[in-house]
């Protein structure tokens, strides 16, 4: 063990768990895509999400929505229209994700500059 310097980022066990939780919850190909669409449009039906999340299949969309609902990030509302429509919207708790998105975007932009040398 060749420890040299001790930097100020020592995470306690609970914080490491929190980190794991957050990563696990937000990882995957579609999570942020769905969340961003809901941020932008406020409320979207299943069909809408299928169209705005370009390339997603109903099976995968359904699974992702269930997962997000279980984690209380979105609400699912069945409207009595004919045929039945279902509306999805963000919960107040979902706004807590915004700092994560901002941090990821900022890092991603800097990283692109560093790696690919292109500002966009």
Partner DNA sequence: GTTATTCGTTACCTTTAGGTAAGCGACTAT
Partner DNA sequence: ATAGTCGCTTACCTAAAGGTAACGAATAAC
* Residue ranges that bind its own copies, judged by CB under 8 A: 1-7, 9-11, 14-23, 25-27, 32, 36, 39-45, 48, 51, 71-72, 87, 93, 96-112, 114-115, 120
Query: What does 37 bind: its own copies, DNA, none (CB cut-off 5 to 8 Å by kind)?
Result: none
29 CB burial (10 A radius; 0-12, 13-18, 19+): exposed
In the list 34, 35, 38, 65, the residue contacting DNA (rule: CB under 7 A) is: 65
Determine if 101 is a binding residue for DNA (CB under 7 A): no
Query: What does 76 bind: DNA, its own copies, none (CB cut-off 5 to 8 Å by kind)?
Result: DNA
> What b/e string do you get for 34-59 counting C-beta neighbours within 10 Å, with b at 16 or more?
bbebbeeeeebebebbbebbeebeee
The span from the CA of 23 to the CA of 94, in Å, is 15
Residues of span 38-57 touching DNA by CB under 7 A: 45-47, 55-57
């Amino acid at each position: 063990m060749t420890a040299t310097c001790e930097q100020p980022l020592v995470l306690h066990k609970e914080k490491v768990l929190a980190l794991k939780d957050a990563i696990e919850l937000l990882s995957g190909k579609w999570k942020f895509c769905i969340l961003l669409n809901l941020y932008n449009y406020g409320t979207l039906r299943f069909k809408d999400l299928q169209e705005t999340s370009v390339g997603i299949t109903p099976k995968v969309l359904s699974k992702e929505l269930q997962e997000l609902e279980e984690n209380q990030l979105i609400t699912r509302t069945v409207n009595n229209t004919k045929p039945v429509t279902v509306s999805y919207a963000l919960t107040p708790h979902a706004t807590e994700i915004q700092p994560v998105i901002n941090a990821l975007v900022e890092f991603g932009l800097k990283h692109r500059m560093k790696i690919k040398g292109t500002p966009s």
